[in-house]
Structure 1
Amino acid sequence: MAHAMEQVRRFFAPFLAKSNISRRICIQHIRELSTSHLLYRCLSHQTSVKSASPPQTSYGQPFNCTHPHLMKEGEVTPGLTADEFADRRRRLMELLARQAPQQQPPQHQVVIVPAARVSHLSEDIPHPFRQATDLLYLSGCQEPEAVLVLHSEPGRPLPEHTATLFVQRNTAHRQLWEGGCTGPAAAPAMLGVDRAAGTAELGRYLECLAADWAGTGTAAVWFDFSAVDVHGPLSGTVRDLVTSLRGAALESPRRAIQSLRLVKSPAEQRLMRKAARCASAAIRDAMAASRPGVSEHELYARVEFGARMRGAERLAYPPVVAGGDRTNVIHYTNNNRTVDDGQLVLMDAGCELHGYCSDITRTWPVNGVFSRQQKVLYNTLLEVQEALIDVVRTSRPSLDGLYGHMFRMLSERLADLGLVGFNREKGQLFRSVQRFCPHHVGHYLGMDVHDTGLIPKNLPLQPGMVITVEPGKYARLGMVITVEPGKYARLGMVITVEPGLYIPAADTSSPEEFRGMGFRIEDDILITETGCEVLSEECPKTVDAIQRAVGGPSPTDFSAV
């Protein structure tokens, strides 16, 4: 009798506990009992009953219980709640259901999304880990080797589904060497998925899924083989699933996931504002440290230090820190020369903060004063960039459409400077202008710097999109000015606008006074209901603002943004 009472007490204890985590684990246990009997047997040895074990004190990623200074209760990653991740998964399944053939839609759907793997610099020395962004977007899981499986349930129409996360087990060896991981027992409560199991159980789970669906209709399997080793075990496991589900369609889910990522939610927009403010402040730090003779390496260190001190996990990409004629090398990343008096610095840098990126470019004189020639070209490019942002604000063209605007604006201004002429056939004029700006006007921005690469640049911009605008001028053989056009602006999109002007020192066809100078100006733009918001507006951009910032006071406040 006493033993039975103890079992009852243990069952109801989580309901009475003050801890939200304990209550969520108990609810997870009840969910498990209501699932398919066959699938339940596949995971029956791993259920939330393990919550009776002593609570964990170490996980493979930050949570509120270990990082209260960073995260609020209910958040899976900083700024993003479990409900937000669940809504993303629901919207994905809803989208896949809409994409199914109307005549013969599959009765069953399964989506398999893998995590990134740990790569190594050399034996036993790993590179810093960065999660695969599609998995991070759908689950918030920041640990390697995980796999997310979303599948429909018999009798429950999409977007209803079950989300199961396969993660590494929390072994004593891992605790000793790596500090532990979330593990299957804690993952449902901490990450908000329906179920969790060890990664070794994925194959058995998918076998049970195929058996459960046997003879009950067609199936669709969504998996991207390009995201994994095609000869690796996960690829083999998915091929076995497709073979078991005779006649199953096999498609990549990446385009569908990226179409959801394209438009940012209010919570994502807040994170992107923080990432832009963080990078803007870090670039101001680099401006303040500029002086004749400074090394590009020191300015690189200044911008990385400033970003990390304000809360960024890392720089979003290897920055361009180019001085002198190297400003004409669009993706210059050697960053190992010094910048002489009278030369320009072109810095293209951004940071990654809580999973979201910024991407900003500024060009400034290392001695703090633009020469007459530098000022002429810089103000020409700045006028183009500001005009492009106005176009985004008022008419929301596509990125490709914005590129057309950039080309027209540059051709007019370069003709005024005598760098190109209007007495040319259209194709010849295009080649002349492209010589001074060979890149696009912008790109989508989000969890990756060049975000959602499968989405074409001819889409209308929408609220919630974030883009970069980065026109550039590069003084070299033929100036190059680029303005990366944005999608048609839709609410929630984020794009860059980044025209450039490049004139190499060896460009004898350009006026001598302009040679050896490269310029690019890039801002991050959020598309809003009323137009657009320049997320990077705190980074100095006008001639006067830049001249005040260069060589100015060193920062004393590194408060998190």
Structure 2
Amino acid sequence: MPRTLRLAVSINSLFLFSVFFVFSASLQAQSSSWNQSTLKEDRALFSEHFTPAEFAERRDKVYEAIGEESIAILQGAPSPEGYLDFRQNNEFYYLSGIESPDAFLILNGQTREATVYLYNRKERREYGEGKILSFEDAELVTELSGIENVGSYSDLMTDLESLNQSAEITTIYTPHSPYEEVAMTRSMANRHIEDMKANPLDTRLPRHQNFIQEIQEAAPNLEIEDLDSVIDELRKIKSVKELELIRRSTRLQAEVIIESMKSTEPGVKPYELEAVSKYIYWKHNIQDDAYYPLIHVGPDAYMNHYHNSERTAKAGDMILMDYGAYDRYYSSDLGRMWPVNGTFNPVQRELYSFYLKFYEAILYHIKLGLTPQQVMQNALKEIDVILEEHKFSKPLYRNAAEQFVAGYHERAKDPDMRLGHGVGMSVHDVGDYAVPIEPGMVFVIEPQFRVPEERIYIRLEDMIIATEDGVEIYSDFLPRDIESIEKLVREDGLLQKNPISIDN
């Protein structure tokens, strides 16, 4: 063999040996390690969706609203009671992005600087449950959040005492409404407080009221004012980044409803469709729902917020699903109805088609710059024609439809009427929606048609997003028409493709 050829073979052999050695070493390293994942915890300590600049912009708007002689102070959510994930309350998260329990936030209108107060590190808890931002992480907190100052609990009391003695500060703004949390709207929180007050053996103050009382005692020289209206109006107009989360939540909820339609067949129970929903949520890293699932079979729908049904669906029943995903503090809210056996019977077709025409007449009259009253007055011109031309099989049904339409004529006389409710950080979001529609608003409509004598109930719900380009019915892709719904219900869904049966 020529010398050059022998040299080439030797070099090639050496190269192959090196590759084999590296590959073998890699296999050996992999086989001798307990885990291959990084030792560093992957969970983010601060929002990866919103930038610190966006939170700072929100705080700047608060400074402008309260003025130079005022401060705003907010209390964060407490540590969860039990083995539950922590979720910050909406108001606190909206202005800070901080997700540490038992935190406080002061916004100083004079200096236009924010201070967040965190508890001292709980090393044993972090050792077992993972890192949570604490006072000892002051530099990291400022780096991640853009909040200028970080203090401890003792600093909070010192700062309040100093502000109380300040000649420049006269007023403290703080929320006067109960705090919103996951699945806890303001109206639901107020209902809970009413139940507390009705209990003769429960004399506790609600948490937000106790906080106001503590502030008054800590800073008696300062006036206390309500911050709710300031935050509510800010939250009403969503940013581009907020709309991204709302759109994602809406798309996921639409997929939940589509898959639930496909999984429906005679014999299905509401909790089985809830299981389908939860699978899709968790598959996409959504571990919370915006509210408990409203999955109604047959006459259960007549109780529009009934949520304990175990009724078995029968051929000839209608199913109502009203549900919403909760994606990183932002909600969706969608509603659809469909027949259990995949075919609308004559009565279902008759009443549903009337309702659908009524519903879409409102939906497609929603325009930028119009007030809800103007939208409704315009829609009613079309609705009156729909009512006149629609054929009803019973006088009972026509009478119900006439009363339904008459109710909206009466509502349209009120300049403060609303089309539905806002959706955002809360599924029934805060803010005044009896105003001209402007970019950044997100809301739903959900007219409720009833025939009490036969416990018939119909409701649909869609997500409506107002942008600079106009009004977008964002959930329009989720079928409402009879033919498309029937086609979906006749397809196999998750429950049919993955049958699991355990004998009782």
Deviation digits for residues 326-369 of structure 1, max 9, x if unmatched? Answer: 12111111132111111100000010011110000000001111
2:420 equivalent to 1:442: yes
2:91 equivalent to 1:115: no
Distance 1:326 1:237, change over 3 A: closer
Quote the residue 2:65 is aligned against.
95
Q: Retained in 1: the 8 A contact 2:463–2:474?
A: yes
Quote the residue 1:310 is aligned against.
284
Quote the residue 2:217 is aligned against.
240
Residue aligned with 2:365, SS: helix
Quote the residue 2:407 is aligned against.
430
Structure with the higher fraction of residues in helix conformation: 2
Count of aligned positions:
417
Shift of 1:233: 7.2
Shift of 1:128: 4.3
Q: Retained in 2: the 8 A contact 1:276–1:358?
A: yes
d(CA) in 2 for partners of 1:308 and 1:502?
Answer: 35
Shift of 1:405: 5.9
Q: Which amino acid aligns with 2:370?
A: P
Shift of 1:249: 2.7
Q: Retained in 2: the 8 A contact 1:164–1:196?
A: yes
Q: Which amino acid aligns with 2:425?
A: M
Q: Superposition pairs for residues 340-355 of structure 1, below 5 Å?
A: 340-355=314-329
Residue aligned with 1:111, SS: strand
Quote the residue 1:202 is aligned against.
156
Q: Superposition pairs for residues 62-461 of structure 1, below 5 Å?
A: 62-63=44-45, 76-97=46-67, 107-120=68-81, 125-153=82-110, 161-184=112-135, 185=137, 186-211=140-165, 213=166, 216-227=167-178, 229=205, 234-243=211-220, 246=221, 248-393=222-367, 396-399=369-372, 401-402=374-375, 413-414=386-387, 416=390, 417=392, 418=395, 419-420=397-398, 429-430=406-407, 441-452=419-430, 455-461=431-437
Shift of 1:144: 2.0
Q: Superposition pairs for residues 432-511 of structure 1, below 5 Å?
A: 441-452=419-430, 455-461=431-437, 490-504=438-452, 507=453
d(CA) in 1 for partners of 2:358 and 2:365?
Answer: 11
Residue aligned with 2:420, SS: coil
d(CA) in 1 for partners of 2:206 and 2:216?
Answer: 10
Given the two structures, how large is their TM-score scaled by the length of structure 1?
0.68
d(CA) in 2 for partners of 1:397 and 1:178?
Answer: 51
Quote the residue 2:498 is aligned against.
none
Given the two structures, how large is their TM-score scaled by the length of structure 2?
0.75
Q: For the aligned residues, what is the CA RMSD?
A: 3.1
Q: Which amino acid aligns with 1:91?
A: K
d(CA) in 2 for partners of 1:441 and 1:374?
Answer: 25
Residue aligned with 1:448, SS: coil
Structure 1: 5+ residue stretches without partners: 1-55, 64-75, 98-106, 462-489, 508-514, 557-561
Q: Which amino acid aligns with 1:112?
A: I
Q: Which amino acid aligns with 2:217?
A: D
Structure 2: 5+ residue stretches without partners: 1-38, 180-204, 412-416, 496-504
Shift of 1:206: 1.5
d(CA) in 2 for partners of 1:200 and 1:318?
Answer: 39
**Identity of counterpart residues, as a percentage?**
25
Deviation digits for residues 134-186 of structure 1, max 9, x if unmatched? Answer: 11111111232111110134xx5xxxx11111122222122134323111223
Residue aligned with 1:392, SS: coil
d(CA) in 2 for partners of 1:421 and 1:364?
Answer: 24
Distance 1:177 1:551, change over 3 A: farther
Distance 1:251 1:348, change over 3 A: same
Shift of 1:385: 1.9
Residue aligned with 1:381, SS: helix
Deviation digits for residues 304-346 of structure 1, max 9, x if unmatched? Answer: 2212212323111001100111121111111321111111000
Shift of 1:253: 0.6
Distance 1:58 1:209, change over 3 A: farther
Shift of 1:548: 1.7
2:472 equivalent to 1:533: yes
Shift of 1:371: 1.2
Q: Retained in 2: the 8 A contact 1:411–1:433?
A: no
Quote the residue 1:546 is aligned against.
485
Distance 1:330 1:412, change over 3 A: farther
Q: Which has the larger radius of gyration?
A: 2
Q: Which amino acid aligns with 1:108?
A: E
Shift of 1:190: 2.0
Quote the residue 1:559 is aligned against.
none
Deviation digits for residues 390-442 of structure 1, max 9, x if unmatched? Answer: 1113x6433455456667766664564344569x9x999439999xxxx9741
